[in-house]
Amino acid sequence: MNRRCFVFAGLLGGCAKPPKVEEDNLLPDFGQLPEFSFVDQQRRPFARGDLAGKVWILDLIYTRCTAVCPRMSAVMKDVQKRLESERRAGLLSISVDPEYDTPERLAAFAGKYGADPERWRFLHGPKARVREVQVKTQRHLDPEEITAHSKQFYLVDGNGYVRGVYSVTQPGAVDDMIGDLRRLLEKPDKPEPST
């Protein structure tokens, strides 16, 4: 079972073969993020439509987290460095604790990790909209339980479709994610739905 399949097994209750992915060499389509309208750490607006023109790596974090969030943010810092020359790639970290994580707190948190605000956006939004994103991505977790947030990164195309899910705890998953990001930049098409 490959690393991508391993993660999806936990998400979807089994490892279903994505339609036509192997024969077309396309990354799977795991559905579109819901519409959202957030602000980043500099209070600049950022909505789903702003994903256009890039491929994104997304994670869900909160600044008071002392467990997996620091590890995920350290990995994102490394990914930012590794993708430094790839201007068509962006990073998004969405706070799952918007009542505490104001844009100012997110800016301070971003500073701890050397986030380039043009490349790595930390997003704050209404709790109900954040929960909708959580429900779409973290299908196996209770979105009301903040400490149970995902340990995963999501590869998202410019139309807001999740095209890959990668566990920070799975060896080699970050390399797979970066490789898939580059593949997606070269071939952004989605597989046809299975019939």
pLDDT in tens, 67-95: 899 999 999 999 999 999 999 999 999 99
Distance in angstroms (rounded) separating the CA atoms of residues 176 and 33: 22
pLDDT, averaged across the chain:
86
Q: Where are the chain's structural domains? A: 29-186
State the pLDDT at residue 124: 98
For tokens 């991505």, the residue is: 137
Whether residue 185 is predicted with pLDDT greater than 90 in this model: the reply is yes
Question: In which band, very low, low, confident or very high, does the pLDDT at 120 lie, cut at 50, 70 and 90?
Answer: very high
* Chain Cα centroid distance, residue 178: 12
pLDDT in tens, 124-149: 999 999 989 988 887 666 656 655 56
Distance in angstroms (rounded) separating the CA atoms of residues 173 and 71: 14
Which fold does the domain 29-186 belong to in CATH? Glutaredoxin (3.40.30)
Instruction: Count Cβ atoms below 10 Å from residue 46 Cβ, excluding itself.
Output: 19
pLDDT in tens, 40-63: 999 999 999 999 999 999 999 999
Distances, alpha carbon 157 to alpha carbons 14, 138, 170, 177, in Å: 24, 17, 22, 13
